[in-house]
Amino acid sequence: MKPRTWMLAMALSTGLCSAPAFAQVTGTVKLEGAAPEPAQIDMSTTKECADQHPDGVFDESIVVNDGKLQNVVVSIKAAEGKELKGELPKTPVKLDQKGCQYIPHVAAMMIGQDLVVANSDPFLHNVHSLALDNPAFNFGQPTTDPGKKIEPMKTFERFKIKCDVHPWMSCHVCVFEHPYFAITKKDGKFEIPGGLPDGEYTVVFWQEKAGEKEAKVTVKGGKGTVDYTFKAADLAMGAPFDGAKVIVASLTGEKKEPCQACIAAAKAKADAAKADVKAAK
């Protein structure tokens, strides 16, 4: 076998000639101006929560590290009248409740992708989704739980999840019709997976306090780079898109109320479990 033919055969056998696994659109999200001081969360009323944070815990709605913004959802926006197609991610999105916080604070997923909610704390949490366009859920998890599978999301939406037991606990979930999205890491960097044809695209940057911002990116040779800089004033304006939906929901009576029966049942189970442990001792 000739060297070149041998190398091609090896590449095919090892998958080196398959579609590239590297990100197609990459970039960094920064903050211009002074970042607001994060508020410290008071967990003193719930000892089992406070004990897990001896150094304190802070609000995660704005996380800035050396001028880089974390937890910004970056996505490709389909052109008017067109659809973006891509494979459904096989890995489930997992939300955990640990130390009386949702981890991660911001999650993104595709319509139909599995969503699992776990509880790493050995005490009660209540998982209350405020979704309006997708199947809402509201249930108690009285103790540790490796994961409860949620009904798949059906349409594009950004919604909040809260805990009715611990009012400071919340996170955000962004649901997309395609897989071309990512969330900025601690260093502000993001990597949107490959699969887009070459061309010019609109990129949407969403931050829970600033709302949506847009920029353009050109994908050429399977790659594209785009950076974005939020201004400190942007973070003080709030997110009008999500805020408007909540206002409309409250006016029309569509907003889901806490499932008091769920909470009561979960508390009863937790009390019974504690009684069993005490009796065993």
User: Which range marks the domain in which residue 168 is found?
Assistant: 25-280
Q: Is 178 inside a domain boundary?
A: yes
Q: Is 236 inside a domain boundary?
A: yes
Q: In whole numbers, what is the pLDDT of the chain averaged over residues?
A: 83
User: What is the residue whose two structure tokens read 């052109």?
Assistant: 79
Q: Is 121 inside a domain boundary?
A: yes
Q: Is 179 inside a domain boundary?
A: yes
Q: pLDDT tens digits, residue range 238-251? A: 554 444 344 344 34
Q: Is 14 inside a domain boundary?
A: no
Tell me the HSE value of 52 on the side-chain side, using a 13 A CA sphere: 14
Q: Is 8 inside a domain boundary?
A: no
Please give the Cα distance from 141 to 136 (Å, whole number): 16
Q: Is 9 inside a domain boundary?
A: no
pLDDT over 50 (residue 37): yes
Paired strand residues for 199: 219
CATH code of 222's domain: 2.60.40.420
- Written as one letter, the residue type at 251 is L
Return the pLDDT at 108.
98
93-127 in b/e form (b: 16+ CB < 10 A) is: bebbbebbbbebbbbbbbbebbbebbbebebbbbb
Q: pLDDT tens digits, residue range 175-227? A: 999 999 999 999 999 999 988 999 999 999 999 999 999 999 999 998 999 99
Q: pLDDT tens digits, residue range 97-131? A: 999 999 999 999 999 999 999 999 999 999 999 99
What is the pTM for the complete model shown? Answer: 0.79
Return the pLDDT at 95.
98
pLDDT band at 13 (very low <50, low <70, confident <90, very high): very low
